């Protein structure tokens, strides 16, 4: 269920439910990766950035746009993970 503009709960369609799960999973993965950033100031900056990006796009409804944002988020996550691996080696 989700709260719509008129403050009425409306059920999510199966595809919306699955998309929402993908977005939440991506958000959690990004926050977990950020925890591994060694410098506290960098961690804070990245956490604020991630929160703001997800917050800014929370009202997106167009399926193609959401899929594109998920793809971009996954690429950014992979880049962060790659950078962290290189920093540890």
Can you give the pLDDT at residue 2? 54
Tokens at residue 57, please? 């796009």
Q: What is the DSSP letter of 12?
A: P
CA gap 66, 84 in Å, rounded: 27
Q: According to the model, what pLDDT value does residue 9 have?
A: 76
Contact present, 30 and 80 (Cβ < 8 Å) = yes
Contact 34, 43 (CB under 8 A): yes
pTM for this entry: 0.84
Give residue 89's pLDDT: 84
Tens digit of pLDDT at every position of the chain (89 positions):
455 555 677 888 999 999 999 999 999 999 999 999 999 999 999 999 999 999 999 999 899 999 999 999 999 999 999 999 999 88
Short-list 55, 56, 35, 57, CA closest to 46: 35
């Amino acid at each position: 269920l989700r709260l719509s503009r008129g403050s009425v709960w409306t059920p999510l369609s199966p595809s919306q439910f699955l998309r929402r799960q993908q977005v939440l999973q991506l958000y959690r993965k990004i926050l977990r990766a950020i925890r591994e950033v060694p410098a506290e100031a960098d961690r804070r900056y990245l956490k604020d950035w991630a929160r703001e990006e997800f917050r800014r796009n929370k009202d997106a409804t167009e399926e193609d746009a959401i899929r594109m944002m998920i793809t971009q988020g996954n690429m950014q996550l992979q880049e962060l993970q790659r950078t962290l691996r290189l920093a540890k080696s």
